[in-house]
Chain A
Amino acid sequence: MNILISRLAQAATVALLVGAATFAMMRSLPGDAAWRIAAGRYGYDNVNTAAADAVREELGLGGHWFPAFMQWMGDLLRFDFGVSLVSGQPVIAEIGHQLGASLWLALAAIGLSLLIGPPLGILAGLRAGGWLDRGLLVVSTGVKAIPQFLMALILILILSVQLGWLPAAGYGAGRHFILPALALALGLAAVNARIARDAMASIAAMPFYQFAQWKGLSRRQVLWRHGLRNVSVPLLTYLGLQFVMLVEGVVVIESIVGWPGIGHALVHAVFARDVPMVQGTALMLGLGFVLVNALIDLAVARIDPRGAR
């Protein structure tokens, strides 16, 4: 219960921050913002001074900042994001279009990273100091030092341009997923392998882990019955925090491979100073983080009955 209340407070603060930041962005728009917004709404041919004045009036762009800010936040709390300054479409509809593509990419990346990272990390942690552990440390350090965009660049050059196995860009078929998902997954795996490794090593050193073996359980049985269960708690918690890293990666990677997702749209919106789109997208991403972490909180509370950690 407590968890959910603090997550709600987090969500509210996220909304406040996004509102304030985008409001400041709106107020600092170069040129006559009202004119541009009116143009976005009614099309460039239909804009006249009256329409621009109406918009200026509505958003309070000309007046004192405080009533304008209250108006802005009020719209935000009613989930009224307005229309895109570029396409003239409602922001909600635009985001609805793009969210799916990003979600699938993110899920593919997380899934792939979980297939690579934790199994290696757990094996390394079981024999802390062994050759796998040391090898993994070297590899994960190296991979962590490669930014996601650089990883994508390297994979594009090797897998698609040089070997011609995969398309460098595009969207639609399953094979389009592999390259961007892999580019994201390798970076994530490098980190969650370390998390799993540290968790496994510390759990394997705990008295209950040794005691389970003294009961007569084999190594494999102890790992299965006690190891995985205990590793899953820190790993899940970390995955929640990793969500931000994933989103950042999605934003960058989508722009590189031309993925029609929310990240691609965001970069375009920032470039075009399409403030309503930026606001809608930012809010969606921030609330997505809170939602994912609230779900993880609940899952962890189920696995770990000790509660308040």
Chain B
Amino acid sequence: MTTFANSLPLNMPLGRAMGAMVLALVAGFALLGPVLVPGDPFAQSLMKSLAGPDAGAPFGYDHLGRSLWHRLAHALRLSPAIALAAVATAGAAGLILGTLAAARGGWVERLLVILADALMALPGLLLVLIVLAIMPGTALGFWAGLSLVLWVEFFRLTRAATRATLTSPAVQASRLLGFRAAYVFRTHLWPEIAPLMLTAAAFGTATTIMGIAALGFVSVGMRAPTPELGLMMVELLPYWREAPMALLTPVLATFTLLLGLTLLAGGQKQ
């Protein structure tokens, strides 16, 4: 029973707490790794091609002799940064449009719903690919394309929760008592929407990171020599017999990052 204060993180379910911890670990490495062991993710040294770990490169070297430690840290900053930017944009857009649609109704709502339904029918990666072809700059293209794909989920959640809440006796009572829209939003809507937004944001971030990596892996996403998780895997794949650990490094990092996000999102789905 969650009768008394849901004060985080005491009451946070175990899975979520674990997810937050895993993410803190990954973020810690991405931000502090290059500080602890200074180095350059782009510097090549063919002498050290696929060499094992040493003091300057605790995770060893890739086929071009670049430090995997530094490439990984760079990659773990890049796609999460793009993902967070896209999720923040999409979340804000979805929240505003979803509340607007539910509160206004009429043709505003109908139009937004039709647009959201149509976007849902199109594979997200395809939209991202098209936007990438239009926009100059890969990171900017990813941000724009992913925002375009992601807002739909936030919109649907916000609209559904807002609709249900606005017709509840609690909101009716507040209106009868003379409270204004801002109070209704603050005390009735936001407490319902916020947990949904957190879950959707974690899922959205995970999908985004998966998408960037998948496109990198099939060579239509980030371009070499940028260190990116999917790109690193496809670059190291031909050498996996000589240096299995080198390939495993980005694989494990991706899995850990996504596992943290999946746990943070919690059990409930949509």
Contact = CB atoms under 8 A, between A and B. Distances in A.
Q: Do chains A and B touch in the complex (CB under 8 A)?
A: yes
Interface of A: 6, 9-10, 13-14, 16-18, 21-22, 24-25, 28, 137, 141-142, 144-150, 153-154, 157, 191, 194-195, 198, 241, 244, 247-248, 251-252, 255-256, 266-267, 270-271, 273, 278, 281-282, 285-287, 289-290, 293
Contacts of A194: 267, 269
A13 B114 contact: yes
Contacts of A21: 127, 130-131, 134
Contacts of A142: 259
Contacts of A241: 120
Contact of B251 (A13, A150, A252, A289): A150
Contact of B218 (A146, A255, A286): A255
A231 to B, nearest CB: 15
Nearest to A288: B121
A248 B125 contact: yes
Nearest to B254: A150
A153 B237 contact: yes
Contact of B120 (A18, A195, A244, A248): A244
27 contacts: A14-B121, A14-B122, A24-B130, A25-B130, A141-B15, A141-B263, A145-B255, A146-B258, A147-B210, A148-B210, A149-B217, A149-B230, A150-B213, A150-B254, A150-B255, A153-B237, A153-B251, A244-B121, A244-B123, A251-B125, A252-B214, A252-B217, A270-B129, A271-B220, A278-B133, A282-B126, A287-B121
A20 to B, nearest CB: 10
- Top 5 nearest A-B pairs (CB, nearest first) are A13-B118, A145-B259, A145-B258, A147-B210, A289-B121
Nearest to A250: B123
Contact of B130 (A150, A154, A271, A278): A278
A17 B118 CA distance: 8
A256 B218 contact: yes
Contacts of B218: 149, 252, 255-256, 267
Nearest to A9: B114
B262 interface: yes
Nearest to B135: A28
A278 to B, nearest CB: 7
Contacts of B115: 13
A291 B120 CA distance: 13
Contacts of A13: 114-115, 117-118
A231 B223 CA distance: 45
B124 A244 contact: yes
Interface string B238-270: 001000000000010011001101110001010
Interface in B157-216: 206, 210-211, 213-214
B124 A248 contact: yes
Interface size range on B against A: 35 or more
B23 interface: no
A194 B122 CA distance: 24
A145 B213 CA distance: 13
B139 interface: no
Contacts of B78: none
Interface in B72-131: 114-115, 117-127, 129-131
A191 B268 CA distance: 11
B214 A148 contact: yes
Given A149-B214, A153-B237, A270-B129, A282 B267 contact: no
A229 B217 CA distance: 41
With most chain A CB atoms within 10 A of its CB, the pick from B122, B124, B240, B258 is B122
Contacts of B259: 141-142, 145
B133 A157 contact: no
Nearest to A157: B240
Contacts of A270: 129-130, 132-133, 220
Nearest to A264: B218
Nearest to B233: A153
Nearest to B217: A149
